Amino acid sequence: MERLRCVVERITYQNGENGYAVIKCRANGYQDLVTVVGNMPEVHVGSVLNLGGFWKVDSKFGRQFSMTEFEETLPATAYGIEKYLGSGLVKGIGPKFAHQIVAKFGKDTLDIIEDDPDRLLEVYGIGKVRVERIKQSWQEQKEVKNIMLFLQGHDVSTSHATKIYKTYGDDSLKVVKENPYRLADDIWGIGFRTADTIAEKIGFGHDQYVRLRSGLLYALNQLADDGHCFAYKNMLLKEGAELLDVEPSSLKEVVEEMIRNEDVILETVGDSGDKDKDTAIYLPPFYFAETGVARRLNEIYGGEHQLSFRNEGLADRIQKRTSIQYDPVQLEAIQTAVTSKIMLLTGGPGTGKTTTTLGIITAYRESGAHILLAAPTGRAAKRLSEATGMEAKTIHRLLEVKPPEGYQRNAENPLEGDVLIVDECSMIDIMLMYNLLKAVPDTMTLILVGDVDQLPSVGAGNVLRDIIDSERYPVVCLTKIFRQAQQSRIILNAHRINQGRMPDLSNGKNSDFFFIEEEDPEKVPDRIVELVKTRLP
């Protein structure tokens, strides 16, 4: 690491949220101004900085000093003090008054402001009201510096220190000293491990309640990242004990206290006789999302069907309009879709989900219905739009998401239409499904399409499979692989794998499926890169 001592001449860019700044500095041994980049909260023109970091060459902006360690000292020369005060750092002092104050007190200026600020009345034009403003502003700046020095002295990064100060202001030191684990609860980007490191530095006890509570919440969040909506109690105790390096038994009372405080929610989910195995522990958002999805599905399913259909000859009319010959299971799906408030259409690749969806849309169009189409991703929405010739939106766009306000379509401002068809539902996690169903009015018909054998959503929950497994709503499962799809060995092998059978690994000139054998694991990444860069294009 290299050191750079410099005076800030100009601030080119400063982000108020994370403290990232680009500054121009005058440094010893450098004729031209030096560009410094990094997280430097509350830095001002005239500040004297002692920096640690390294030199780099940016392709666009040239040579820069990338700062990783940051310490500010007060300027020592009259010129530096004048520039420092004239930067707007202290409310009540601009360039004009900075010049007059330094002309009066010289190098003693900062000592005067710190120890005897009433002497500023000796400067022409400065009255009692302005002196009071200067006193208050100087104290605020000093507090910020003290907080930053304390946090950085305990190995808190500059960007984290900035977030802490932005969140708690002058209470930052008090919060960190009393309960550093609050940082993990309150500040996005500061997790349990960071808070735990800070707590260890300031001497927090290994088995204090606030530490154990924060660690258990972290463990639940980690499980949610792995796709789980809840943890069995014995599972949480085991994960928490490993994370916190304590005995599982010492966490039982902590869990009970967290339940009493509603930090987590408990639900009995089994009857094995082992309480720890039969108890589910939820983070509240996932509990309310799960119960909310179940409630909304029942409310929509029990809602009144608004549309009327001429069922006689429906199959013939649909096949004539679409020019598609449907098999009996596909026709059953179309019939079920127009008679049920909720219907699930599932099946593996090549089984005709898209053509069946087109038939359902045609049937609803015949009745004059207003149809909405949606999918979880932009690519899936585009594919659905191309297949149907209608506009399909991502779920987020359908719900009119506006950060940070959130979903504009909700229970108070529901979606408008008669039918909502959602494709690729295996990708929808529990939180997104809850927000979607809140915006679906009870009068709307809901059709969910997806392949349960695809990978589940990235977020927590296995929503499509769980809804199907509940056996509460009509499900039509397509199993026949159509002729066009039979030409694809990718599709045929996908079905063989789902059936527990060995895929066909023979390679052929006209095949879309290739098996490439490589015995040496270390060569596999290079082979994949070669395929992606050369072979596949």
Which pairing describes strands 2-14 and 445-450: parallel, antiparallel, or unpaired?
unpaired
**SS3 at position 36:** strand
User: What percent of the chain is modeled with pLDDT above 90?
Assistant: 43
**SS3 at position 63:** strand
User: In this predicted structure, what is the pLDDT of residue 152?
Assistant: 66
User: In this predicted structure, what is the pLDDT of residue 414?
Assistant: 96
Q: Does residue 7 register a pLDDT over 80? A: yes
User: In this predicted structure, what is the pLDDT of residue 485?
Assistant: 65
More confident: 240 or 201: 240
* Letter string b/e over residues 182-212, b meaning 16 or more CB atoms within 10 A of that residue's CB: bbbeebeebebebbbebbeeeebeeeeebbb
Tokens of 295: 């409630």
The answer to whether 88 touches 44, Cβ cutoff 8 Å, is: yes
- Considering the chain, what is the average pLDDT of its residues? 87
pTM of this prediction? 0.73
User: In this predicted structure, what is the pLDDT of residue 398?
Assistant: 96
Model confidence at 435, pLDDT cuts 50, 70, 90, reads: very high
pLDDT tens track for 164-180:
877 887 788 888 888 88
pLDDT tens track for 215-231:
999 999 999 989 999 99
More confident: 427 or 1: 427
pLDDT tens track for 136-150:
888 877 776 777 667
More confident: 154 or 383: 383
CA-CA-CA-CA torsion for 183, 184, 189, 192, nearest 10 degrees? 130
User: In this predicted structure, what is the pLDDT of residue 329?
Assistant: 92
Give the residue from 291, 290, 201, 218 showing the smallest Cα distance to 254.
218
User: In this predicted structure, what is the pLDDT of residue 174?
Assistant: 86
C-alpha to C-alpha distance for 511 and 492, rounded to whole angstroms: 11
C-alpha to C-alpha distance for 38 and 534, rounded to whole angstroms: 39
Instruction: Indicate the range of 88-102, 334-348, 523-537 predicted with least confidence.
Output: 88-102
C-alpha to C-alpha distance for 410 and 441, rounded to whole angstroms: 9
Tokens of 518: 């490589």
Instruction: Indicate the range of 73-77, 185-189, 517-521 predicted with least confidence.
Output: 73-77
Q: Does residue 187 register a pLDDT over 90? A: no
Model confidence at 505, pLDDT cuts 50, 70, 90, reads: confident
Tell me how far CA of residue 336 lies from CA of 12, 202, 294, 306, 366, in angstroms.
64, 64, 21, 15, 16
Domains and CATH numbers, the chain: 2-147 (2.40.50), 154-201 (no CATH), 209-282 (1.10.10.2220), 293-485 (3.40.50.300)
Q: Does residue 313 register a pLDDT over 90? A: no
Q: Max alpha carbon distance in the chain (Å)?
A: 99
C-alpha to C-alpha distance for 486 and 488, rounded to whole angstroms: 5
Angle between helices 353-366 and 378-388 (to 10 degrees): 60
User: In this predicted structure, what is the pLDDT of residue 240?
Assistant: 92
The answer to whether 349 touches 451, Cβ cutoff 8 Å, is: yes
* Strand stretches in 175-333, DSSP E: 230-232, 265-268, 279-282
More confident: 192 or 163: 192
Own/partner long-range contacts of 465-468 (Cβ < 8 Å, ≥24 apart): 465/426, 467/297, 467/344, 468/344, 468/346
Instruction: Indicate the range of 26-35, 200-209, 340-349, 386-395 predicted with least confidence.
Output: 200-209
Model confidence at 462, pLDDT cuts 50, 70, 90, reads: very high
Beta-carbon neighbour count of residue 466 at 10 Å? 17
User: In this predicted structure, what is the pLDDT of residue 155?
Assistant: 66
User: In this predicted structure, what is the pLDDT of residue 278?
Assistant: 82
Q: What does the pLDDT average to over 280-293?
A: 95
User: In this predicted structure, what is the pLDDT of residue 158?
Assistant: 65
Q: What does the pLDDT average to over 361-370?
A: 90
**SS3 at position 61:** coil
C-alpha to C-alpha distance for 489 and 510, rounded to whole angstroms: 10
